[in-house]
Structure 1
C-alpha cells in the first residue's frame, strides 16, 4: 500500500505559476525589480512542508514566467531576534540609508523579526550585489515593539512628492504609517482603519502606492489582507482608494472592496522598482487559504503563487475601482487552440478558455470534467447577478476545501459578459469585467480535466499558454 504522505504529486506541479522545489511557502515578500531582474522573496520553511521556522526564500526571473530558485536570502535567528516574517524591499537609488558601497544602489529589505516569545519588531537587511546576498543591519531592530501582539509586515515606498520613505505596517486591526529620510530612523505619522472596510481577527500585509486613472487623475491605493472574514470564508484581500498627503491616508469610501473573491488569493503585494521604466504595479499573492493551507495534498512542495497581475484604476458606474488582470508577460504566451466538436481541452499545458455570454438570457454555466467523474463548474446566476465557482466535486476535497465561491458583478449596465478562465494543473483563475471581478482557486483533480460543456449558447475561444514546467 502506498504511503499517500510521501507520494510525489507531479500532476499538480503548475506550468506558469511559481512553486518552490520543495517544502513550505506562503506570503510573497520583498518583491523588487532591479537591473532587468524581478526578485521574488517569500515566506519559506527550509526544513518542512508546514508553516514554521520562517526564512526568506528567493527566486528571480526576467519575464515573470520562468523562475530560478536561489539560495535562502535572509535566515531565521531563533535564539536572537527571531524568525523572519513578511516585509518588502526597495531600491535605495540615492543611498539615503548609507548602506551602499557607493558604486551601485543598495537593495534594502524591511521585514518583521518574530521572536520565540512572539515579540514582533521591524528590521532591515541590505544587498550590494543586486539581491544575490543579504546582510542584516547591525543595529536591528529599527522599530521596536510598543507592546502590541500583532505588529508586522512592513511595506515601504519612496514618496516622490514629499522626498521621504513611507512604511505601511499592519498593527492589529489597523494600518500604521511611518516616515523616514534614510530607511533607518522612523517616525510614526498616522493610523488608518477604524470605520473602514472589513475587520476580521487581524489585518496583514499592507501595500500603499499611487496609480493614475486613464483620465490622468492620480489616486493612492492601500491593499490590506485579513484573516479570517474573507468574502468566501477564511482569508481575503481588500483595497481602499483615496488620498495620501505624506502623513495620512484618507479613503474615498468606507465599504469593503475585495481585490479577489476566490478562496485562494492572500497576502498579495506589488513589485517596487518599476517606477523608472513603466511605473506599473505588478501584483502577486500566495495562492492558498489558512483554513487548509497546512493540509494541501502536494508533495514535495506545499504552497504557490498566483499569476502576476497588473493593477490599474478603472472608471466604473460605481466610481474609480481597482482592476487586476494577468500581466503582459503572461498574455504574451497565448497561442490559439482550435476546439473540436467535443470541446476537448488541450493536454500538457496551462490553458485559457474565454467564455462570452449574454447575461440577459438568464443562468449559464461552463463545466470542466475528467474521466474520474470530477468536475469544476463556473456559473452565472442571474437572480443574484453573480459568478459562482464550484469546486465541491473538483477533486481532492478535505479539511474544509470543498466550497462554492461567489462574486457579484459590478457593471450592471452590461449584458455581454466575458470570462477569461485560466487553468494550470492545480489552479483556476477567473477574470471578468475587465479585471474588476476575479476569483482565484486551487483545485486538485486526480487527472486533468479533458473536456467541457456549456448550458447555454456562448462564444468560446481556447488558448494554450505554455507546455513546460518552469518551477
Structure 2
C-alpha cells in the first residue's frame, strides 16, 4: 500500500477537513417504505422502477429498433431482502443516449423451467444472437444463458431461454426447462464447490464458448449446439486461474471472482487484443469490490491468456456488475466499447437505507442506480482510457467562470476566504454556491501561471450532513476520497453498513486512497458528474472514481478549494444541469 507516502503528502487525518461544516439545504421526505417510492431515484441516470436492482446483464445494440437493449437484475422483494422468496428476475429497458430510458418491464422470469430441475431465482448471465447452431432456436433469435438457483436443491446452474419478440422477453426455455450446464455434471465442476454462476457466452471458431465464475477460477466450456456443454480444454481442468486473471497481485482472501465478460478491442496501432473484465476486490491494496480488467489473447482452446497485470477499471468503492457493448463474436474487434455499472456495494447497500438524516424512517425498498455511460478505448500500452458519454442535449443552464483564484472566488460573498489549514498552509476557497441541483456536470481545468500546479485540490460535496470529499495532490498524483451518509445509520445490522461506508479500507473515516497516474502537471482537467445517488470523477488520462451516496435531497453544495503556495493557482469552471 501507498498509505504512508500519502499520509506525508495528503493528510488523511479527518480533523482538519471536519473543521469545515457547511451544509446544503436538506428537505425531509415522506416514508420510504414502498417498492416504488422515489426518495432514492436518480435525475439523469438509470434507476430501477421497482424494488431492488444490481448487476447489469447485457448491453446490446438492437438493429431493428435502433436503440440499445439494457438488462439488469431485479428483485421484487426490495432492497431490504433482495434474495427474498420471490427470487430475482431480469428487467429490461432501452436507450439511445444512456441518459433517457424507456419503461422497464420483466424480461426473464424469476422462476421457471421444470418443476424440480427448473430455476427458483434468475441471476447473472449474457445474451447472444443465434447464428443457426443453437438447437431448437430460430436463426436470428436472441438467446439468454443465465444462472439459476435450482428448485430442488438451490444449487447454481446455467439455463437458457430464447426471445421471440426481439429481446423484450425470454419465455422459450431450452432443454425442457432443465440446466444446459449442471453444477453436478462431470463435464463441469462435478459438484466440487458451490460457485457456478455469471455465465458469459460468445462465438469462437464456429462454436459457443462459455466463461463461468467458479469462486477462485473462471471455468471455460464449449458447445456445438448451446444445449450440451463440455470442458473447452478436455485434457485439463479448463480453468482460467487467479494467477492469470489476477496477474501481478495476490488472490489470497479476495474470492470470489464474479461477472466475467470478454471482448476484443482494437488499439490505435491496429493490433487487436482480448480484454477480460470481471468483478473482484483486493483488500491488500486498499480496494473494496469493483470492476477489474486484464489484456491478452485466447489459447487454442478458447482460454484467456494474460499479457498484462490486472488493473482496476474504476478506482471507486461503488462501481460493480458492469457490462459492455461489443460483438458476441470474439473475432469481431471494437475500436471502442460503451460501458456502465451498478452504483452500489454489498457491504452497505442492502443493510438498510433511510430517507431521513435522523435515520428513523423505514428502510427504503426501492434502490438500485447506475453510473454514467463511458466510452472505453484500449491504448497502445494496453491500458484502457475512459470518457463520459454525455450527450450535449442532456445539458442545460450552462455557466462558465474563467480565471477563478483565491483573490477572486466564485461565492456568495465574492471575497477571499481561508477554509482550513493543511500541510502546505492555507486552504483557499475557489467556488461555493449553495443549493445547486444534485444532478450536474462539472468540467474543471486547474492551472498555474508560473509552472506546474502546486498545492492540493479539494472538492467537498455536501447534501445535508452527508458529504463526499475529494483530496488530490498533483505533485505525486495520489488522491483520497472519503464520505459519510447519515441514512446508513440504524441499519438492519445496526451500524455495520454505515461504518463500512464511512471508514472505507483506510479506517477512521479516511475512506480510500488511489493513484491517478498524473503527477507534476501544468494543467489538470477533472470532470465530475453528480446525481442524487452518485458522484463520478474522471481524470484526463481516463481514470475514473465512482462513489454512491444516499441522501434524498435534490440539492447539493459543491465546494472547490486549493492550496496555493506559489500564489499562481486558478481554475476555469464549466457547470451544467443534467436532465
After TM superposition, is the score higher than 0.5?
yes
Corresponding residue for residue 195 of structure 1? 243
- In structure 2, what is the Cα distance between the partners aligned to 1:75 and 1:381? 49
TM-score by length of 1: 0.86
Corresponding residue for residue 275 of structure 2? 221
Pick closer, same or farther for the CA change 1:184–1:332 going to 2, 3 Å: farther
Pick closer, same or farther for the CA change 1:2–1:156 going to 2, 3 Å: closer
Q: Does 1:421 align with 2:421?
A: no
After TM superposition, give the deviation of residue 362 of structure 1 in Å: 2.9
Contact 2:32 2:365 in 1 (8 A): no
Q: Does 1:356 align with 2:445?
A: yes
> Could you say which structure has the larger radius of gyration?
2
Contact 1:374 1:395 in 2 (8 A): yes
Contact 1:32 1:90 in 2 (8 A): no
Contact 2:281 2:287 in 1 (8 A): no
SS of residue matched to 1:68: coil
SS of residue matched to 2:541: helix
Among 57, 82, 93, the alignment partner of 1:29 is 57
Among 369, 378, 397, the alignment partner of 1:304 is 369
After TM superposition, the structure 1 = structure 2 runs for residues 167-186 of structure 1, keeping only pairs within 5 Å, are 167-186=210-229
Corresponding residue for residue 338 of structure 1? 399
Corresponding residue for residue 270 of structure 1? 324
SS of residue matched to 1:195: helix
TM-score by length of 2: 0.71
Corresponding residue for residue 152 of structure 1? 197
SS of residue matched to 1:73: strand
Range that drifts further, 458-467 or 213-222: 458-467
- In structure 2, what is the Cα distance between the partners aligned to 1:455 and 1:120? 52
SS of residue matched to 1:82: strand
Among 134, 143, 146, the alignment partner of 1:97 is 134
Q: Does 1:51 align with 2:82?
A: yes
Aligned residues: 454
Q: Does 1:6 align with 2:46?
A: no
Corresponding residue for residue 291 of structure 1? 347
Corresponding residue for residue 124 of structure 2? 86
Pick closer, same or farther for the CA change 1:217–1:391 going to 2, 3 Å: same
Q: Does 1:122 align with 2:158?
A: yes
> Alignment RMSD, CA only?
3.0
1:49-81 deviation digits (Å, cap 9, x = unpaired): 332121112222233222123331111238633
Structure 2 gaps of 5+ residues are 1-27, 184-189, 233-237, 356-363, 402-409, 412-430, 490-496, 505-510, 564-568
After TM superposition, give the deviation of residue 17 of structure 1 in Å: 1.4
Contact 1:39 1:58 in 2 (8 A): yes
Contact 1:157 1:272 in 2 (8 A): no
Corresponding residue for residue 410 of structure 1? 517
Pick closer, same or farther for the CA change 1:171–1:274 going to 2, 3 Å: closer
After TM superposition, give the deviation of residue 335 of structure 1 in Å: 4.6
- In structure 2, what is the Cα distance between the partners aligned to 1:274 and 1:345? 47
Q: Does 1:439 align with 2:545?
A: yes
After TM superposition, give the deviation of residue 300 of structure 1 in Å: 4.8
Among 9, 16, 20, the alignment partner of 2:44 is 16
Pick closer, same or farther for the CA change 1:406–1:185 going to 2, 3 Å: same
Contact 2:239 2:303 in 1 (8 A): yes
After TM superposition, give the deviation of residue 2 of structure 1 in Å: 9.3
- In structure 2, what is the Cα distance between the partners aligned to 1:88 and 1:461? 41
- In structure 1, what is the Cα distance between the partners aligned to 2:198 and 2:443? 37
After TM superposition, give the deviation of residue 415 of structure 1 in Å: 4.6
Q: Does 1:320 align with 2:375?
A: no
SS of residue matched to 2:383: strand
After TM superposition, give the deviation of residue 245 of structure 1 in Å: 3.4
Contact 1:375 1:449 in 2 (8 A): no
Contact 1:31 1:271 in 2 (8 A): yes
Pick closer, same or farther for the CA change 1:452–1:133 going to 2, 3 Å: same
Q: Does 1:74 align with 2:108?
A: yes
Q: Does 1:464 align with 2:576?
A: yes
Range that drifts further, 179-188 or 419-428: 179-188
Q: Does 1:251 align with 2:281?
A: no
Contact 2:475 2:519 in 1 (8 A): no
Pick closer, same or farther for the CA change 1:331–1:2 going to 2, 3 Å: closer
Range that drifts further, 260-269 or 275-284: 275-284
SS of residue matched to 1:177: strand
